[in-house]
Protein backbone atom coordinates (compact mmCIF):
# COMPACT_ATOMS: atom_id res chain seq x y z
CA UNK A 1 0.00 0.00 0.00
CA UNK A 2 1.53 3.33 -1.08
CA UNK A 3 2.10 5.72 1.81
CA UNK A 4 3.45 9.26 1.98
CA UNK A 5 4.53 8.95 5.62
CA UNK A 6 8.05 7.71 4.90
CA UNK A 7 10.13 10.82 5.63
CA UNK A 8 13.39 8.93 5.18
CA UNK A 9 12.54 8.56 1.48
CA UNK A 10 11.03 12.07 1.31
CA UNK A 11 14.17 13.83 2.57
CA UNK A 12 16.89 11.46 1.41
CA UNK A 13 18.43 14.24 -0.74
CA UNK A 14 18.82 16.64 2.20
CA UNK A 15 21.64 16.71 4.70
CA UNK A 16 20.75 17.46 8.31
CA UNK A 17 21.96 21.05 7.91
CA UNK A 18 19.83 21.47 4.76
CA UNK A 19 16.86 20.08 6.66
CA UNK A 20 17.41 22.68 9.37
CA UNK A 21 17.52 25.45 6.75
CA UNK A 22 14.25 24.17 5.28
CA UNK A 23 12.70 24.19 8.75
CA UNK A 24 13.75 27.83 9.22
CA UNK A 25 12.40 28.80 5.78
CA UNK A 26 8.95 27.25 6.28
CA UNK A 27 8.80 28.67 9.80
CA UNK A 28 9.27 32.13 8.26
CA UNK A 29 6.68 31.43 5.55
CA UNK A 30 4.18 30.35 8.21
CA UNK A 31 4.23 33.92 9.60
CA UNK A 32 1.69 35.55 7.31
CA UNK A 33 2.45 39.13 8.36
CA UNK A 34 6.17 38.68 7.69
CA UNK A 35 5.46 37.35 4.20
CA UNK A 36 3.20 40.33 3.45
CA UNK A 37 6.03 42.65 4.48
CA UNK A 38 8.58 40.87 2.29
CA UNK A 39 7.55 42.54 -0.98
CA UNK A 40 7.90 46.20 0.15
CA UNK A 41 11.02 45.36 2.17
CA UNK A 42 12.60 43.76 -0.90
CA UNK A 43 12.02 46.94 -2.90
CA UNK A 44 13.52 49.12 -0.17
CA UNK A 45 16.52 46.82 0.24
CA UNK A 46 17.32 46.98 -3.47
CA UNK A 47 17.03 50.80 -3.49
CA UNK A 48 19.39 51.33 -0.54
CA UNK A 49 21.95 48.85 -1.81
CA UNK A 50 21.44 46.19 0.86
CA UNK A 51 22.92 42.85 -0.34
CA UNK A 52 19.41 41.45 -0.60
CA UNK A 53 20.14 39.29 -3.63
CA UNK A 54 22.83 37.38 -1.73
CA UNK A 55 20.47 36.83 1.22
CA UNK A 56 17.63 35.62 -1.02
CA UNK A 57 19.91 33.30 -3.02
CA UNK A 58 21.18 31.63 0.15
CA UNK A 59 17.68 31.03 1.52
CA UNK A 60 14.38 30.92 -0.36
CA UNK A 61 15.99 30.88 -3.84
CA UNK A 62 18.24 27.94 -3.00
CA UNK A 63 15.26 25.96 -1.72
CA UNK A 64 12.78 26.61 -4.54
CA UNK A 65 15.05 27.20 -7.59
CA UNK A 66 17.55 25.22 -9.60
CA UNK A 67 19.97 28.01 -10.55
CA UNK A 68 20.33 31.21 -12.53
CA UNK A 69 20.77 29.44 -15.88
CA UNK A 70 20.01 26.09 -17.49
CA UNK A 71 23.62 25.08 -16.93
CA UNK A 72 23.43 25.92 -13.23
CA UNK A 73 20.42 23.60 -12.88
CA UNK A 74 22.56 20.54 -13.67
CA UNK A 75 23.16 19.68 -9.99
CA UNK A 76 19.42 19.65 -9.26
CA UNK A 77 18.59 17.77 -12.49
CA UNK A 78 21.11 15.07 -11.58
CA UNK A 79 19.96 14.84 -7.97
CA UNK A 80 16.34 14.39 -9.04
CA UNK A 81 17.28 11.84 -11.71
CA UNK A 82 19.08 9.65 -9.17
CA UNK A 83 15.74 9.33 -7.40
CA UNK A 84 13.89 8.57 -10.67
CA UNK A 85 12.31 12.04 -10.81
CA UNK A 86 12.28 14.09 -14.01
CA UNK A 87 12.87 17.83 -14.31
CA UNK A 88 10.61 20.46 -15.86
CA UNK A 89 12.79 23.52 -16.42
CA UNK A 90 10.68 26.58 -15.67
CA UNK A 91 12.14 29.97 -16.65
CA UNK A 92 10.43 31.94 -13.89
CA UNK A 93 11.22 35.53 -14.82
CA UNK A 94 8.06 37.62 -14.33
CA UNK A 95 6.87 41.18 -14.78
CA UNK A 96 8.56 42.05 -18.08
CA UNK A 97 6.71 44.30 -20.54
CA UNK A 98 8.86 45.00 -23.60
CA UNK A 99 9.02 43.26 -26.96
CA UNK A 100 12.74 42.75 -26.45
CA UNK A 101 12.13 40.96 -23.15
CA UNK A 102 9.37 38.83 -24.67
CA UNK A 103 11.71 37.73 -27.47
CA UNK A 104 14.47 36.92 -24.99
CA UNK A 105 12.06 34.84 -22.90
CA UNK A 106 10.75 32.99 -25.96
CA UNK A 107 14.31 32.11 -26.92
CA UNK A 108 15.04 30.94 -23.37
CA UNK A 109 12.01 28.61 -23.51
CA UNK A 110 13.26 27.22 -26.82
CA UNK A 111 16.67 26.73 -25.19
CA UNK A 112 15.01 24.60 -22.48
CA UNK A 113 13.35 22.57 -25.24
CA UNK A 114 16.64 22.04 -27.02
CA UNK A 115 18.18 20.86 -23.75
CA UNK A 116 15.24 18.47 -23.27
CA UNK A 117 15.79 17.11 -26.77
CA UNK A 118 19.18 15.69 -25.75
CA UNK A 119 18.38 14.88 -22.12
CA UNK A 120 15.88 12.16 -21.17
CA UNK A 121 15.91 13.49 -17.60
CA UNK A 122 13.73 16.40 -18.83
CA UNK A 123 10.36 15.03 -20.01
CA UNK A 124 8.56 18.39 -20.40
CA UNK A 125 9.19 22.05 -21.12
CA UNK A 126 6.86 24.79 -19.87
CA UNK A 127 6.04 28.46 -20.41
CA UNK A 128 3.71 31.19 -19.23
CA UNK A 129 2.02 33.25 -21.92
CA UNK A 130 2.57 36.44 -19.88
CA UNK A 131 6.29 35.74 -20.20
CA UNK A 132 6.07 36.31 -23.96
CA UNK A 133 3.05 38.62 -24.24
CA UNK A 134 1.81 41.84 -22.66
CA UNK A 135 -0.87 41.29 -20.00
CA UNK A 136 -2.99 44.20 -21.18
CA UNK A 137 -3.10 42.82 -24.72
CA UNK A 138 -4.19 39.39 -23.48
CA UNK A 139 -6.87 41.07 -21.38
CA UNK A 140 -8.28 42.89 -24.43
CA UNK A 141 -8.19 39.75 -26.57
CA UNK A 142 -9.95 37.69 -23.90
CA UNK A 143 -12.69 40.26 -23.36
CA UNK A 144 -13.39 40.59 -27.08
CA UNK A 145 -12.39 44.25 -27.31
CA UNK A 146 -11.47 45.65 -30.72
CA UNK A 147 -7.72 45.92 -31.22
CA UNK A 148 -5.94 48.85 -32.78
CA UNK A 149 -3.78 48.19 -35.83
CA UNK A 150 -0.67 48.33 -33.65
CA UNK A 151 -2.20 45.81 -31.24
CA UNK A 152 -3.10 43.48 -34.11
CA UNK A 153 0.54 43.45 -35.18
CA UNK A 154 1.57 42.96 -31.56
CA UNK A 155 -0.68 39.90 -31.31
CA UNK A 156 0.75 38.51 -34.55
CA UNK A 157 4.15 38.53 -32.86
CA UNK A 158 2.71 36.78 -29.79
CA UNK A 159 1.14 34.13 -32.01
CA UNK A 160 4.44 33.62 -33.83
CA UNK A 161 6.25 33.07 -30.50
CA UNK A 162 3.71 30.47 -29.37
CA UNK A 163 3.89 28.80 -32.78
CA UNK A 164 7.70 28.66 -32.66
CA UNK A 165 7.61 27.01 -29.23
CA UNK A 166 5.00 24.44 -30.28
CA UNK A 167 6.76 23.71 -33.59
CA UNK A 168 9.93 23.08 -31.65
CA UNK A 169 8.08 20.56 -29.46
CA UNK A 170 7.02 18.71 -32.62
CA UNK A 171 10.54 18.84 -34.11
CA UNK A 172 12.21 17.38 -31.02
CA UNK A 173 9.32 15.07 -30.02
CA UNK A 174 9.15 16.54 -26.49
CA UNK A 175 6.06 17.80 -24.69
CA UNK A 176 5.54 21.47 -23.83
CA UNK A 177 2.98 22.85 -21.37
CA UNK A 178 1.43 26.30 -21.12
CA UNK A 179 0.67 27.27 -17.53
CA UNK A 180 -2.77 28.64 -16.61
CA UNK A 181 -3.09 32.22 -15.36
CA UNK A 182 -5.78 34.71 -14.29
CA UNK A 183 -9.30 33.85 -15.47
CA UNK A 184 -9.72 37.14 -17.32
CA UNK A 185 -6.84 36.37 -19.69
CA UNK A 186 -7.46 32.61 -19.90
CA UNK A 187 -9.86 32.67 -22.91
CA UNK A 188 -7.20 33.70 -25.43
CA UNK A 189 -4.80 31.20 -23.88
CA UNK A 190 -7.32 28.37 -24.28
CA UNK A 191 -7.93 29.46 -27.86
CA UNK A 192 -4.22 29.38 -28.68
CA UNK A 193 -3.68 25.97 -27.09
CA UNK A 194 -6.68 24.51 -28.91
CA UNK A 195 -5.20 25.70 -32.21
CA UNK A 196 -1.79 24.22 -31.36
CA UNK A 197 -3.27 20.89 -30.24
CA UNK A 198 -5.20 20.65 -33.50
CA UNK A 199 -1.97 21.20 -35.44
CA UNK A 200 0.60 19.24 -33.46
CA UNK A 201 -1.24 16.57 -31.42
CA UNK A 202 -2.20 14.27 -34.27
CA UNK A 203 -0.15 11.20 -33.30
CA UNK A 204 1.11 12.15 -29.84
CA UNK A 205 0.05 14.65 -27.19
CA UNK A 206 2.94 17.12 -27.42
CA UNK A 207 1.04 20.31 -26.54
CA UNK A 208 -0.48 20.57 -23.04
CA UNK A 209 -2.89 23.18 -21.70
CA UNK A 210 -3.43 23.71 -17.96
CA UNK A 211 -6.77 23.64 -16.14
CA UNK A 212 -7.24 25.21 -12.70
CA UNK A 213 -9.96 23.37 -10.77
CA UNK A 214 -10.54 26.02 -8.15
CA UNK A 215 -12.65 27.38 -11.01
CA UNK A 216 -16.15 25.94 -11.09
CA UNK A 217 -16.34 25.83 -14.91
CA UNK A 218 -13.18 23.85 -15.68
CA UNK A 219 -14.52 20.30 -15.42
CA UNK A 220 -17.11 21.03 -18.10
CA UNK A 221 -14.44 22.84 -20.15
CA UNK A 222 -12.30 19.70 -20.06
CA UNK A 223 -15.22 17.54 -21.16
CA UNK A 224 -16.05 19.95 -23.98
CA UNK A 225 -12.42 19.86 -25.17
CA UNK A 226 -12.53 16.06 -25.16
CA UNK A 227 -15.68 16.09 -27.33
CA UNK A 228 -13.99 18.41 -29.87
CA UNK A 229 -10.80 16.34 -29.92
CA UNK A 230 -12.72 13.11 -30.35
CA UNK A 231 -14.71 14.51 -33.24
CA UNK A 232 -11.75 16.15 -35.00
CA UNK A 233 -9.20 13.39 -34.37
CA UNK A 234 -6.47 15.01 -32.28
CA UNK A 235 -5.05 14.16 -28.86
CA UNK A 236 -5.27 16.27 -25.70
CA UNK A 237 -2.39 17.11 -23.41
CA UNK A 238 -3.62 18.41 -20.08
CA UNK A 239 -2.03 19.46 -16.83
CA UNK A 240 -4.54 19.74 -14.03
CA UNK A 241 -3.93 21.82 -10.92
CA UNK A 242 -6.05 23.27 -8.16
CA UNK A 243 -4.82 26.82 -8.87
CA UNK A 244 -2.63 29.65 -7.70
CA UNK A 245 -4.54 32.94 -8.00
CA UNK A 246 -7.58 32.43 -5.76
CA UNK A 247 -7.34 35.52 -3.55
CA UNK A 248 -6.69 37.82 -6.52
CA UNK A 249 -9.61 36.29 -8.43
CA UNK A 250 -12.08 36.84 -5.59
CA UNK A 251 -10.86 40.38 -4.93
CA UNK A 252 -11.23 41.38 -8.59
CA UNK A 253 -14.71 39.84 -8.86
CA UNK A 254 -15.85 41.72 -5.74
CA UNK A 255 -14.32 44.99 -6.93
CA UNK A 256 -15.81 44.79 -10.43
CA UNK A 257 -19.15 43.31 -9.41
CA UNK A 258 -19.24 40.03 -11.33
CA UNK A 259 -19.72 36.46 -10.10
CA UNK A 260 -16.47 34.95 -8.90
CA UNK A 261 -15.18 32.08 -11.06
CA UNK A 262 -13.86 30.42 -7.90
CA UNK A 263 -15.51 27.37 -6.36
CA UNK A 264 -17.75 28.05 -3.36
CA UNK A 265 -15.82 25.68 -1.09
CA UNK A 266 -12.52 23.81 -0.89
CA UNK A 267 -14.54 20.57 -1.00
CA UNK A 268 -15.99 21.58 -4.38
CA UNK A 269 -12.49 22.15 -5.71
CA UNK A 270 -11.34 18.75 -4.46
CA UNK A 271 -14.39 17.05 -5.91
CA UNK A 272 -13.91 18.54 -9.39
CA UNK A 273 -10.16 17.92 -9.34
CA UNK A 274 -10.58 14.24 -8.54
CA UNK A 275 -13.42 13.93 -11.08
CA UNK A 276 -11.08 15.39 -13.70
CA UNK A 277 -8.40 12.84 -12.79
CA UNK A 278 -10.85 10.01 -13.28
CA UNK A 279 -12.20 11.48 -16.53
CA UNK A 280 -8.68 11.68 -17.96
CA UNK A 281 -7.84 8.11 -16.97
CA UNK A 282 -11.15 6.83 -18.36
CA UNK A 283 -10.22 8.46 -21.69
CA UNK A 284 -6.48 7.81 -21.59
CA UNK A 285 -6.40 6.91 -25.29
CA UNK A 286 -7.43 10.50 -26.06
CA UNK A 287 -6.06 12.44 -23.06
CA UNK A 288 -2.48 12.47 -21.75
CA UNK A 289 -2.23 13.73 -18.18
CA UNK A 290 0.17 15.61 -15.96
CA UNK A 291 -1.37 15.83 -12.47
CA UNK A 292 0.10 18.82 -10.67
CA UNK A 293 -0.85 18.53 -7.02
CA UNK A 294 0.51 18.81 -3.48
CA UNK A 295 -2.53 16.97 -2.15
CA UNK A 296 -1.89 13.46 -0.81
CA UNK A 297 -5.50 12.32 -1.23
CA UNK A 298 -5.60 13.28 -4.91
CA UNK A 299 -2.28 11.54 -5.56
CA UNK A 300 -3.66 8.38 -3.99
CA UNK A 301 -6.87 8.78 -6.02
CA UNK A 302 -4.86 8.84 -9.24
CA UNK A 303 -2.97 5.73 -8.14
CA UNK A 304 -6.34 4.11 -7.47
CA UNK A 305 -7.69 5.10 -10.91
CA UNK A 306 -4.60 3.68 -12.65
CA UNK A 307 -5.07 0.37 -10.83
CA UNK A 308 -8.80 0.32 -11.56
CA UNK A 309 -8.24 0.74 -15.31
CA UNK A 310 -5.21 -1.60 -15.44
CA UNK A 311 -2.85 1.15 -16.58
CA UNK A 312 0.81 0.59 -15.82
CA UNK A 313 2.32 2.92 -13.23
CA UNK A 314 5.14 3.59 -15.72
CA UNK A 315 2.80 4.52 -18.62
CA UNK A 316 4.28 7.74 -20.03
CA UNK A 317 0.82 9.13 -20.72
CA UNK A 318 0.47 9.83 -16.99
CA UNK A 319 2.78 11.97 -14.84
CA UNK A 320 2.59 13.24 -11.28
CA UNK A 321 4.19 16.65 -10.69
CA UNK A 322 5.13 18.88 -7.78
CA UNK A 323 7.22 22.02 -7.31
CA UNK A 324 10.87 21.83 -6.34
CA UNK A 325 11.18 22.28 -2.60
CA UNK A 326 7.59 21.28 -1.84
CA UNK A 327 5.77 18.01 -1.12
CA UNK A 328 8.89 15.87 -1.40
CA UNK A 329 7.06 13.20 0.61
CA UNK A 330 4.66 12.84 -2.35
CA UNK A 331 7.24 13.09 -5.16
CA UNK A 332 9.86 10.73 -3.81
CA UNK A 333 7.52 8.10 -2.37
CA UNK A 334 5.72 7.97 -5.73
CA UNK A 335 8.95 7.70 -7.71
CA UNK A 336 10.25 5.10 -5.27
CA UNK A 337 7.10 3.05 -6.00
CA UNK A 338 7.72 3.27 -9.77
CA UNK A 339 5.34 6.05 -10.88
CA UNK A 340 6.30 8.78 -13.36
CA UNK A 341 7.14 11.96 -11.44
CA UNK A 342 8.58 15.30 -12.55
CA UNK A 343 9.45 18.33 -10.47
CA UNK A 344 8.98 21.90 -11.68
CA UNK A 345 12.45 23.47 -11.37
CA UNK A 346 12.23 27.28 -11.56
CA UNK A 347 15.37 29.08 -12.67
CA UNK A 348 16.56 32.52 -13.73
CA UNK A 349 18.53 35.50 -12.36
CA UNK A 350 17.77 35.97 -8.65
CA UNK A 351 16.60 39.55 -9.06
CA UNK A 352 14.23 38.65 -11.91
CA UNK A 353 12.85 35.56 -10.17
CA UNK A 354 12.12 37.49 -6.94
CA UNK A 355 8.45 38.21 -7.87
CA UNK A 356 7.91 34.47 -8.41
CA UNK A 357 9.51 33.64 -5.05
CA UNK A 358 7.42 36.18 -3.14
CA UNK A 359 4.28 34.87 -4.85
CA UNK A 360 5.28 31.32 -3.91
CA UNK A 361 5.64 32.36 -0.27
CA UNK A 362 2.26 34.14 -0.37
CA UNK A 363 0.57 31.09 -1.87
CA UNK A 364 1.99 28.87 0.86
CA UNK A 365 0.46 31.07 3.55
CA UNK A 366 -2.92 31.19 1.78
CA UNK A 367 -3.31 27.43 1.23
CA UNK A 368 -4.71 25.97 4.43
CA UNK A 369 -2.31 23.50 6.03
CA UNK A 370 0.39 23.61 3.33
CA UNK A 371 3.17 25.16 5.41
CA UNK A 372 2.14 23.34 8.59
CA UNK A 373 2.32 20.03 6.73
CA UNK A 374 5.81 20.80 5.42
CA UNK A 375 6.98 21.75 8.92
CA UNK A 376 5.47 18.63 10.48
CA UNK A 377 7.20 16.40 7.94
CA UNK A 378 10.54 18.13 8.47
CA UNK A 379 10.18 17.80 12.25
CA UNK A 380 9.33 14.11 11.92
CA UNK A 381 12.46 13.50 9.85
CA UNK A 382 14.66 15.52 12.21
CA UNK A 383 13.37 13.44 15.10
CA UNK A 384 13.95 10.19 13.19
CA UNK A 385 17.56 11.17 12.50
CA UNK A 386 18.15 12.14 16.13
CA UNK A 387 17.03 8.66 17.24
CA UNK A 388 19.34 6.80 14.81
- pLDDT per residue as tens digits for the range 4-27: 999 999 999 899 999 999 998 888
Q: Is the pLDDT of residue 31 over 80?
A: no
CATH of domain 66-347: 3.20.20.220
pLDDT above 80 (res 45): no
With a cut of 90, say whether residue 364 has pLDDT above it.
no
* Separation CA 253–CA 264 (nearest Å): 13
Q: What is the pLDDT of residue 363?
A: 63
Averaged pLDDT, 255-267: 95
Is the pLDDT assigned to residue 36 strictly greater than 60?
no
99 contact partners, CB below 8 Å, separation of at least 6:
154, 157
Q: How many other CB atoms are there within 10 angstroms of residue 310's CB atom?
A: 6
Over residues 109-124, the mean pLDDT reads 97
pLDDT reading at 367 higher than 90? no
Mean pLDDT in residue range 134-160? 98
CB atoms near residue 141 (< 10 Å): 20
CA angle 217/221/223 to nearest 5° reads 125
- Whether residue 264 is predicted with pLDDT greater than 90 in this model: the reply is yes
Q: Report the sign of the C-alpha dihedral through residues 70, 71, 76, 80, in that order.
A: positive
Comparing 8-22, 169-183, 272-286, 290-304, the range with the smallest average pLDDT is 8-22
Separation of alpha carbons 185 and 180, rounded Å: 9
Stretch 142-163: mean pLDDT, rounded? 98
3-state secondary structure of 316: coil
Indicate the domain borders of the chain.
66-347
The vertex-321 CA angle with 354 and 252, nearest 5°, equals 55
Q: What pLDDT sits at residue 296? A: 95
Inform me whether the pLDDT recorded for 59 exceeds 70: yes
What confidence category does residue 114 fall into, taking pLDDT thresholds of 50, 70 and 90?
very high
Q: pTM of this prediction? A: 0.92
Q: What is the mean pLDDT of the chain?
A: 91
Nearest one of 268, 344, 279, 337 to 309, comparing CA atoms: 279
User: Which residues of the chain form beta strands (DSSP E)?
Assistant: 86-91, 124-127, 175-178, 207-212, 236-241, 287-292, 318-323, 341-347
Residue 220 has pLDDT above 80, yes or no: yes
φ/ψ of 287, rounded to 5, equals -120, 125
Q: Distance (Å, rounded) from C-alpha 129 to C-alpha 145?
A: 19
DSSP letter (8 states) at residue 208: E
Give the span between the Cα atoms of 176 and 125, in whole angstroms.
Answer: 5
Helix intervals (H) in 146-263: 149-172, 186-200, 218-232, 246-256
More confident residue, 371 or 126: 126
Query: Which of these ranges, 62-66, 231-235, 331-335, has the smallest mean pLDDT?
Result: 62-66
pLDDT tier for residue 235 given thresholds of 50, 70 and 90: very high
Whether the predicted pLDDT of 124 surpasses 90:
yes
If one counts every other C-beta atom within 10 angstroms of the C-beta of residue 265, the result is 9
| H helix count then E strand count, the chain | 17, 8
Q: Is the pLDDT of residue 3 over 70?
A: yes
Predicted confidence band at 34 (pLDDT cuts at 50, 70, 90)?
Answer: very low
Ranges 56-60, 123-127, 151-155, 224-228: which has the least confidence: 56-60
- In percent, the amount of the chain with pLDDT more than 90 equals 78
Residue 350: the pLDDT is: 87
First to last CA, the chain: 25
Long-range interactions of 36-43: CB distance < 8 A, separation 24+: 36/362, 38/358, 38/361, 39/358, 42/354, 42/358
The whole-number pLDDT of residue 351 equals 82
Identify the pLDDT of residue 54: 74
Amino acid sequence: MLSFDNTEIAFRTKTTSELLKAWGLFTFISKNNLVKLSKPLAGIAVKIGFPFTYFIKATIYEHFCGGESIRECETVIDKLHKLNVGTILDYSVEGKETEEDFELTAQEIIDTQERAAIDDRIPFSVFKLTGIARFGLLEKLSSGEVLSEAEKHEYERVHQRVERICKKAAEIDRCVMMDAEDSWIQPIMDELMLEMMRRFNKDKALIYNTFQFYRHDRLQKLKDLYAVAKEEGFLIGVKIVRGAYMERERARAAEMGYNSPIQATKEDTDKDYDAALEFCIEHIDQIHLCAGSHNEKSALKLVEFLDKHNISKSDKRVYFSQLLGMSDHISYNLSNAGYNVAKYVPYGPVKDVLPYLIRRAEENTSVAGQTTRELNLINTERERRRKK
